[in-house]
């Protein structure tokens, strides 16, 4: 017989005491079998654990006193059974079946008082309880079952009452946050405080928008966040991974999901933590819905106005002046300039994620325009491309504002995406509405070519494009591809056939401006070898590399080839 002595009440965790109240709302839970064993009313029976000592952490939802064995169909799960065993089956098979039925009904445990029927619990009973993981306890001294049930039910009822009281505290807290102008960070702070564990709000792209309750600075909490987040799927409300338990719920409304709220609690978790999580997600959704509706209407209005300017869908410039002024931007007798912001990501995303990211980007760029104290309109033209119209009183003021807006956009964008994924194109300054269309076209062209230009730039204008930018803009034109094949095709074929790198030799030569000695040094080869390679290139391409026109033509083809392969 397996026997484990039960610790004294001083050694057991307190049940239903003030210590539980100070541990935070999320700590309230039903008593476990182990905690019930520590109650004075139970200890008077000198309990010993006969089977499944590993399952003593099971919560007890209610207590039943029963002497009959066909009680399982009356149970709802979580019940602790008290019995003297007087009506138990006489045969081993019947005793084993009794335990099997209780385990199937998800009973929490069985306490059997010795003396009336058994002097020791039958082996069949013990073995079946151990096999089914059902705690089996023997009470060696007679004890009034009514005292045990009264003590346990008192704890359970008090816990339920405190649970209801704390539910009301949670609901009241979130109602207050919803009524006030609370930020997502305020809401996440309250979720972490009430739940007593770290809380994180991430968007559908797995970018952390707000977090609280973690170590100072949050570095440990957010370490390798995207990788960890991908392990916790959106379809599972709870995930256990690498020693962490994640409770998650989506944040969204009107059929759209904007992100999810995550709790990372210590084990075991409590039902109240799930309530707090759901209430926090609802409050976040309400906040974002109100804010989104306000911003969405503003952004749609800005977008329509910018699109009408680009497509010249207006009756007169006065119409645009009036519409812009109604949005708080004066365009009459002002210096105006168009900006295009492009964001490109290498990793593919779903359509839902793409639109969610686009909403975040337009919000961030609107905030960047406000950061720069600029007067302007911001509207999403399509996913990954936004249009901006900036207005200033003087040309010099306009130049300062454009630089300030560009810096603010890069600062804001770095919080949403890796560096280098956002580029800005700026058109020519104009003073009339009709000329704005041309400014937007230039800005779009400059933004399209920005990635092909060397170095990091605050923004790009058409003056910065030059050859590489022009070729980049034309890189998908089949005529350009045909030109590359005509100029360099034989060299590609020769290198592939002979496993040489004459293309690299030609690149070094052309980038050195036709200076053979400098090119040989850059290629880390002797001049004699380099000259021999150049002679072979002339034979393959049937051209004269001493001819400036040949070098220019080949250089354009080389730049075009580089643009088409990057």
Asked if the structure places residue 162 within a domain, the reply is: no
- Output the CA torsion 330→336→337→339 (10° steps): 0
Asked if the structure places residue 415 within a domain, the reply is: yes
Q: Helical H runs in 386-477?
A: 395-413, 436-449, 462-473
User: Does 150 share its domain with 16?
Assistant: yes
Asked if the structure places residue 471 within a domain, the reply is: no
Asked if the structure places residue 224 within a domain, the reply is: no
How many helices (H) and strands (E) are present in the chain, helices listed first? Answer: 19, 14
Helix (H) or strand (E) holding 282: helix 271-311
Asked if the structure places residue 174 within a domain, the reply is: no
Q: What is the pLDDT of residue 25?
A: 43
- Do the Cβ atoms of 402 and 343 come closer than 8 Å? no
Residue pointed to by tokens 């968007």:
203
User: Does 148 share its domain with 191?
Assistant: no
Residue pointed to by tokens 């089949």:
478
User: Does 142 share its domain with 263?
Assistant: no
CATH of the domain at 322: 3.30.70.270
Q: What is the pLDDT of residue 296?
A: 63
User: Does 283 share its domain with 344?
Assistant: no
User: Does 284 share its domain with 362?
Assistant: no
Asked if the structure places residue 299 within a domain, the reply is: no
User: Does 188 share its domain with 322?
Assistant: no
How many structural domains does the chain have?
A: 4
HSE toward the beta carbon, residue 61, CA cutoff 13 A: 8
Q: In what order do the strands lie in the sheet with 199-203?
A: 208-212, 199-203, 256-263, 244-253, 238-241
Q: What is the pLDDT of residue 245?
A: 85
DSSP at 32 = B
Q: What is the pLDDT of residue 33?
A: 92
User: Does 408 share its domain with 508?
Assistant: no
Asked if the structure places residue 116 within a domain, the reply is: yes
Instruction: Round to whole Å and give the CA distance between 196 and 189.
Output: 10
Q: What is the pLDDT of residue 31?
A: 86
Asked if the structure places residue 166 within a domain, the reply is: no
User: Does 94 share its domain with 120?
Assistant: yes
Instruction: Round to whole Å and give the CA distance between 22 and 563.
Output: 65
Instruction: Round to whole Å and give the CA distance between 24 and 166.
Output: 10
Instruction: Round to whole Å and give the CA distance between 251 and 286.
Output: 9
Q: Which two tokens stand for residue 316?
A: 């007169």
Mean pLDDT per 10-residue segment, the chain (566 residues): 37 33 49 90 91 90 86 86 89 90 91 90 92 93 88 82 70 72 81 88 80 66 81 80 84 78 83 84 78 64 87 87 82 92 67 64 82 86 86 91 89 72 88 91 84 78 70 71 86 89 86 84 84 88 87 83 69
Three-state secondary-structure class, residue 356: helix
User: Does 269 share its domain with 343?
Assistant: no
Q: What is the pLDDT of residue 316?
A: 87
- Three-state SS annotation for 493-529: HHHHHHCCCHHHHHHHHHHCCCCHHHHHHHCCCCHHH
User: Does 319 share its domain with 461?
Assistant: yes
CATH of the domain at 269: 3.30.450.30
User: Does 369 share its domain with 444?
Assistant: yes
Query: Which among 409, 454, 427 has a CA at the least distance from the CA of 563?
Result: 454
Q: Which two tokens stand for residue 549?
A: 């026109």
- Do the Cβ atoms of 440 and 433 come closer than 8 Å? no
User: Does 461 share its domain with 486?
Assistant: no
**Domain range for 496:** 478-564
- Assign residue 459 a region (left: φ > 0; alpha: ψ between -120 and 50; beta: otherwise): beta
């Amino acid at each position: 017989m397996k026997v484990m002595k039960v610790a004294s009440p001083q050694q057991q965790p307190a049940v239903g005491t003030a210590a539980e109240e100070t541990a935070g709302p999320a700590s309230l839970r039903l008593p476990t079998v182990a905690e019930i064993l520590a109650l004075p009313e139970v200890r008077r029976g000198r309990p010993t654990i006969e089977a499944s000592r590993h399952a003593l952490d099971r919560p007890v939802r209610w207590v039943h006193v029963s002497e009959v064995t066909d009680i399982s169909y009356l149970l709802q799960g979580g019940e602790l059974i008290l019995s003297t065993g007087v009506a138990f089956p006489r045969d081993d098979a019947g005793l084993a079946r009794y335990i099997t039925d209780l385990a199937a009904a998800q009973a929490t445990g069985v306490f059997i008082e010795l003396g009336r029927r058994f002097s020791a619990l039958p082996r069949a009973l013990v073995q079946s309880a151990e096999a089914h993981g059902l705690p089996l306890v023997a009470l060696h001294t007679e004890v009034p079952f009514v005292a045990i049930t009264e003590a346990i039910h008192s704890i359970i009822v008090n816990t339920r009452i405190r649970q209801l009281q704390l539910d009301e505290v949670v609901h009241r807290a979130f109602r207050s946050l919803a009524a006030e102008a609370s930020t997502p960070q305020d809401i996440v702070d309250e979720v972490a405080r009430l739940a007593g564990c770290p809380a994180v709000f991430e968007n559908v792209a797995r970018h952390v928008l707000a977090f609280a309750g973690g170590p100072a600075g949050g570095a440990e909490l957010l370490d390798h966040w995207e990788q960890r987040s991908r392990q916790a799927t959106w379809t599972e409300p709870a995930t256990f991974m690498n020693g962490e338990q994640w409770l998650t719920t989506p944040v969204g409304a009107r059929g759209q999901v904007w992100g999810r709220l995550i709790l990372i609690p210590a084990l075991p978790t409590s039902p109240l933590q799930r309530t707090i999580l759901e209430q926090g997600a609802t409050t976040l959704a309400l906040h974002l819905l109100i804010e989104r509706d306000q911003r969405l209407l503003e952004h749609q209005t800005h977008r329509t106005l910018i699109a009408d300017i680009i497509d010249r869908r207006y009756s007169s410039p006065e119409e645009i002046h009036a519409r812009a002024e109604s949005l708080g931007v004066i365009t009459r007798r002002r210096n105006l300039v168009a900006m295009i912001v492009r964001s490109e990501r290498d990793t593919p995303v779903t359509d839902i994620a793409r639109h969610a990211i686009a909403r975040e980007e337009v919000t961030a760029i609107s905030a960047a325009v406000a950061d720069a104290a600029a007067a302007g309109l911001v509207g999403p033209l399509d996913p990954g491309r936004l249009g901006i119209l900036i207005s200033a009183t003087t040309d010099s003021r306009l130049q300062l504002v454009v630089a300030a807006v560009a810096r603010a956009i890069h600062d804001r964008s770095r919080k949403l995406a890796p560096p280098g994924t956002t580029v800005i194109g700026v058109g020519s300054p104009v003073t009339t509405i009709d000329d704005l269309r041309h400014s937007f076209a230039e800005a779009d062209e400059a933004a399209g070519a920005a990635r092909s230009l060397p170095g990091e730039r605050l923004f790009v204008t058409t003056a910065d494009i030059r050859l590489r930018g022009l070729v980049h803009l034309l890189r998908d034109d089949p005529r350009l591809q045909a030109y590359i094949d005509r100029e360099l095709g034989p060299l590609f074929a020769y290198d592939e056939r002979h496993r040489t790198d004459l293309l690299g030799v030609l690149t070094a030569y052309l980038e050195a401006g036709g200076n053979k000695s400098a090119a040989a040094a850059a290629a880390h080869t002797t001049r004699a070898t380099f000259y021999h390679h150049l002679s072979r290139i002339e034979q393959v391409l049937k051209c004269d590399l001493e001819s400036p026109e040949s070098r220019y033509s080949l250089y354009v083809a080389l730049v075009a080839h580089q643009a088409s392969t990057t």
